[in-house]
Structure 1
Amino acid sequence: MWRRSSPTTKRQLKNNNTNKKQMKKIILAAMAAMLTLSAGAAEKKDSTKSNAPVFTTIKENPITSIKNQNRSGTCWDYSTLAFFEAEILKKTGKTYDLCEAFVANKTYMDRAIQVVRLHGDCQFSQGGSAY
């Protein structure tokens, strides 16, 4: 059989409210203490930087632009075309921006044809297609 709980008295409600107020005060005091301590713990930067290293450029090699593949899963495409762009730059002195999307699209279309021809008996996932 279920046992009924006794009704809450006014005294219990009052004690509960005072406990909540005390907890709020304690939490606010703890947060204020943390902010104060963290502000004092900040590192002071040395403005003189006497031990800073000094670099001298001896030879500056030309480079191609930096690309962002994001999460496309075509790192094989970006690395292969970066190699081709660097070789073109080395041989001709001209910079070209080859289209990674074109190569990836052509490769995935070739894979789709292969999947149909082999009745799905080949790999159709991302990666490793720079050959």
Structure 2
Amino acid sequence: YLVVSNVSDLTPGIYHYSVQKHGLETLKLGKFTREMVRAGMGQEMLGKAAVTFVWTAIFERSKWKYRQRAYRYVYLDAGHIAENLALAATSLGLGSCQIGALYDDEVNLIIGIDGVEESVLYMSTVGQPAD
């Protein structure tokens, strides 16, 4: 999921990446910076970022294959994805911050997922680097 605040050619709002369509689906339009700062335990970079990536997992997709190790692997995968995003952002001259301190239920509510079948794992901000 992407929570967009200030990205060229994208209206502020919440988007979901569709694998089938290989594109973004608009879920909600509007600014969600205050809600994201609150859900991120007051971390101000969430209010200043151009975009926040919200990494989630649909647990059944991993449980059928990895069984009791599924939860471990979804968190490892989220970290790997966030690291790649940070490297890509840096190569473009942008800043990125990885966020693990968050109120899961609040983030789940903002992006519109149930927190049971699918839940937030991690977040990453991208934007202009701080001076």
Which structure is higher in helix share?
1
- TM-score bracket, normalised by the shorter chain, equals under 0.3
The normalised TM-score by structure 2 is 0.27
Give the greater-gyration-radius structure (CA): 1
Higher RCO (CA 8 Å, separation ≥ 6 residues): 2
Which structure is higher in strand share?
2
